[in-house]
Amino acid sequence: MSKIISVKNLVKDFGDLRAVDGISFEVEEGEIFGFLGPNGAGKSTTIKMMTALLRPTEGNIWIDGVDVCSNPKAIRSKIGLVFQSSSLDDRLTGWENLKFHGILYNMDSDLIERRVEDLSTNVGLKDRLGDPVKNYSGGMKRRLELIRGLLHHPHVLFLDEPTIGLDPQTRRHIWEYIIDLEENEDISIFLTTHYMDEVEIARRAAIIDEGKIISLDKVETLKKNLGGDIIVLSTTDVEHSKAEIKEKFDLDVEQVDSQLKIAVDHGDEFIPDLLSSLSDKVTSINLREPTMDDVFLDLTGKEIRDSGPEKTPVMKRGH
Amino acid sequence: MESLRNHLKHIGIIWYREVLRYWRDKARIVGSIAMPFFFLVIFGSGLSSSIGSMAGGAAEMGLDFKKFMFPGIIGMTTLFTSMFSGLSVVRDKEYGFLKEILVSPADRVAVAAGKILGGSTVTMFQATLIFIFAPFVGISLSALMLLKIWGIIFIGAILFTGLGTYVGSRLSSTEGFQMVMNFMIMPMFFMSGAFFPLKDIPNWMAVLVRVNPFAYLTDSMRKVIFSSMGLPAQVMNNLPDYGLGLSLFGNPVKLWIDLTIVATLALITGSIAVYSFNHMD
């Protein structure tokens, strides 16, 4: 696979603050690349530099063969952007917002009309395009922004926190649509998020914290590195149980508040052994697949600072 | 050629959006004629007779305060509307729409030009609305006068839309913008002769009036409108003596000088706005 995005030693200083601290990564053509980190980790700053809205202090960015820093204009029509916060004109109708975009991107009227027809049908907005955007729900606005970002056939779509502030059902719809795009359109997607569950729609992900990439791999691998399953349990004497598990099974046990967390392969087979060998009474036990929360905790020793609003069932990809 | 066509299309769509947003905001259109209406009807009627003492001798020749104020009210509408059109830049920042424009392939020169032309169009429409009060004030309209006035409003609108757009490009909150605007608009408005005749004013103010761009705009409008009112030649030729016109170095300022000054400044503020847009993050 060829590289559609290549970032080398990217640095951004704001006065004394180093917001982005020498990051490098590549995005392969046609993949969804996740960029995961807590608020303030440097995600938005990175996206701004990649989309030529902000000049890097140091480093290089190539997108689709274009050096973004020395040739910002050439990159504009090759990329599409969906911003973290709304960037629609709510006094205009959905159609007018799209038309405005199309003309700014030098599309002719016929093409705009055809493209709007296709895209709006896909996201179920077609019948509402004539309404002023101020009458749209949060989810409709997001969908409108998504299709606006796609209108001019960009090679790379940047999604900056695409489901922030949306309800679980709407988030799921957006995810389905993004996965659908990856499968059916000739497009690469760069997705930033601080929601752990959201990055699971990506094929590969970089985890960023305090301006540095602390891990970069396939999402599957990031999860697998933790050991197959996660077991979380609480007992009547947590300290004692912790020592007991370490001694009997030679496993790392992490204590999170009053719970114990163990990463093991084949957790379902391990639970009976575990239960029969503990001398304290187990008050609760829970088996699950590792989430990006676990990955982040494992890599940085801290929980992600701001996790998702509601727990949404994790999307499964057909890896 | 292709790229020029694209630039023009970009200017056009940005202009169109400004005008469309204005047109959809009916409350703003109605509200915008309220202030001129009150000024003319209440303020102007109340002070109707005092113009005699304010502009000595002019009253006997058929000038009352409403007629005196009318060109100034057109000027005021031009000044306020065009300066405040810079608010659209701040609002676009606050609502995030500016990002959509700035990441697009549109050149920022085209963006700024579209904004300035959009604001100027709205200003021209708004200022033209004031002419519905002309019969009430007792001013008869002619096509020629309207054409001249439109030309003047257009140049003035570019000047002050450029200034407003420049300020808008530098600020990030609508509250801040409104504060700065009041600081800029009020002195220009009061020291222009739009509101009271510039007769027997203190020396310091006489100096400030002469460096006030808006004073030249008001002056040019007054010359055009007064000349269609049939005032005696004695008044028309000596407007500064009655406090009804500007003078520079002891000579009455001619219309073409007013317009040259306004147009030159319009070119400057327009360029500053474009430059500032080009260097905005």
CA distance B31 to B279: 35
Same domain for A231 and A160: no
Q: Identify the domain containing residue A276 by its residue range.
A: 227-289
Question: What per-residue confidence (pLDDT) applies to A312?
Answer: 46
Where residue A121 sits, what CATH number does that domain have? 3.40.50.300
Q: Which token pair is B62?
A: 């058929």
CA distance B35 to B37: 5
Residues in B touching A79 (Cβ below 8 Å)? 103
- Asked if A73's CB is within 8 angstroms of B17's CB, the reply is no
User: Which residue would you say has higher pLDDT here, B214 or A219?
Assistant: B214
User: Which residue would you say has higher pLDDT here, B47 or A37?
Assistant: A37
User: How many residue pairs from chains A and B have C-beta atoms closer than 8 A?
Assistant: 62
In a domain, A54, yes or no: yes
Same domain for A214 and A108: yes
Q: Pick the last residue of a domain from A223, A238, A271.
A: A223
Find the mean pLDDT for residues B39-45: 79
Question: In this predicted model, what pLDDT tens digit does every residue of A136-188 receive, in sequence order?
Answer: 999 999 999 999 999 999 999 999 988 888 888 888 988 999 998 888 888 99
In a domain, A65, yes or no: yes
Task: Say which amino acid occupies A159.
Answer: L
Q: Are the CB atoms for B59 and B51 separated by under 8 Å?
A: yes
Same domain for A184 and A101: yes
In a domain, A303, yes or no: no
Same domain for A238 and A183: no
CA distance A54 to B220: 45
Question: In this predicted model, what pLDDT tens digit does every residue of B66-115 receive, in sequence order?
Answer: 888 899 999 999 999 999 999 999 999 999 999 999 999 999 999 999 99
Find the mean pLDDT for residues A292-305: 72
**Number of Cβ within a 10 Å radius of residue A287:** 14
Distance of CA B279 to the CA centre of its chain: 27
Count Cβ atoms within 10 A of the Cβ of residue B230 and give its class: 0-12 exposed, 13-18 middle, 19 or more buried.
exposed
B2 to chain A: closest CA residue: A106
Question: What per-residue confidence (pLDDT) applies to A247?
Answer: 85
How many domains is chain A built from? 2
Residues above pLDDT 90, as percent of chain B: 59
Task: Label residue B55 by pLDDT band (50, 70, 90).
Answer: low
Same domain for A158 and A41: yes
Residue A313 has pLDDT above 50, yes or no: no
Question: What per-residue confidence (pLDDT) applies to A254?
Answer: 82
- Asked if B17's CB is within 8 angstroms of A100's CB, the reply is yes
pTM of the model: 0.85
Query: Average per-residue pLDDT in chain B?
Result: 89
Interface membership of A74 toward B (CB under 8 Å): no
Find the mean pLDDT for residues A80-88: 91
Residues in A touching B104 (Cβ below 8 Å)? 76, 101, 104-105
Residue A314 has pLDDT above 60, yes or no: no
Same domain for A232 and A212: no
Residue A310 has pLDDT above 60, yes or no: no
In a domain, A261, yes or no: yes
User: Which residue would you say has higher pLDDT here, A273 or A190?
Assistant: A190
Residue B21 has pLDDT above 90, yes or no: yes
Note which residues in 100-129 of chain A have CB less than 8 A from chain B.
Answer: 100-101, 103-106
Interface membership of A134 toward B (CB under 8 Å): no
Residues in contact with B26: Cβ distance below 8 Å, sequence separation at least 6, in sequence order: none
In a domain, A298, yes or no: no
Same domain for A41 and A155: yes
Nearest to A38 by CA among A292, A261, A223, A311: A292
CA distance B161 to B270: 8
In a domain, A107, yes or no: yes
In a domain, A313, yes or no: no
Maximum mean pLDDT: which of A236-245, B22-31, B123-132: B123-132
Q: In angstroms, what separates the C-alpha of B95 from chain A's closest C-alpha?
A: 6
Same domain for A122 and A47: yes
Task: Label residue A305 by pLDDT band (50, 70, 90).
Answer: low
Q: A82 vs A128, A204, B270, CA distance in Å?
A: 20, 20, 32
Task: Label residue B252 by pLDDT band (50, 70, 90).
Answer: confident
Task: Label residue A298 by pLDDT band (50, 70, 90).
Answer: confident
Question: What per-residue confidence (pLDDT) applies to A304?
Answer: 62
Find the mean pLDDT for residues B182-196: 90
Same domain for A167 and A106: yes
Question: In this predicted model, what pLDDT tens digit does every residue of A107-123 receive, in sequence order?
Answer: 999 999 999 999 999 89
Option in B10, B21, B102 nearest A53 (CB): B102
Question: In this predicted model, what pLDDT tens digit does every residue of B256-275 receive, in sequence order?
Answer: 999 999 999 999 999 999 99
Q: In angstroms, what separates the C-alpha of B38 from chain A's closest C-alpha?
A: 30
Residues in A touching B17 (Cβ below 8 Å)? 89, 92, 100
Question: What per-residue confidence (pLDDT) applies to B2?
Answer: 66
- Asked if A87's CB is within 8 angstroms of B96's CB, the reply is yes
Same domain for A232 and A138: no
In a domain, A33, yes or no: yes
Interface membership of A77 toward B (CB under 8 Å): yes
Q: Where are the domains of chain B?
A: 2-278
Interface membership of B202 toward A (CB under 8 Å): no
Q: In angstroms, what separates the C-alpha of B165 from chain A's closest C-alpha?
A: 19
Where residue A279 sits, what CATH number does that domain have? 3.30.70.260
Question: In this predicted model, what pLDDT tens digit does every residue of B210-247 receive, in sequence order?
Answer: 999 999 999 999 999 988 877 777 777 778 877 788 88
Q: In angstroms, what separates the C-alpha of B160 from chain A's closest C-alpha?
A: 25
Question: What per-residue confidence (pLDDT) applies to B150?
Answer: 96
- Asked if B105's CB is within 8 angstroms of A105's CB, the reply is yes
User: Which residue would you say has higher pLDDT here, A295 or A31?
Assistant: A31
Option in A76, A89, A106 nearest B6 (CB): A106
Q: Which token pair is A276?
A: 């029969």
Residue B244 phi, psi dihedral angles, 5° rounding: -105, 5
Interface membership of B24 toward A (CB under 8 Å): yes
Q: Pick the last residue of a domain from A189, A223, A257.
A: A223
Query: Average per-residue pLDDT in chain A?
Result: 87
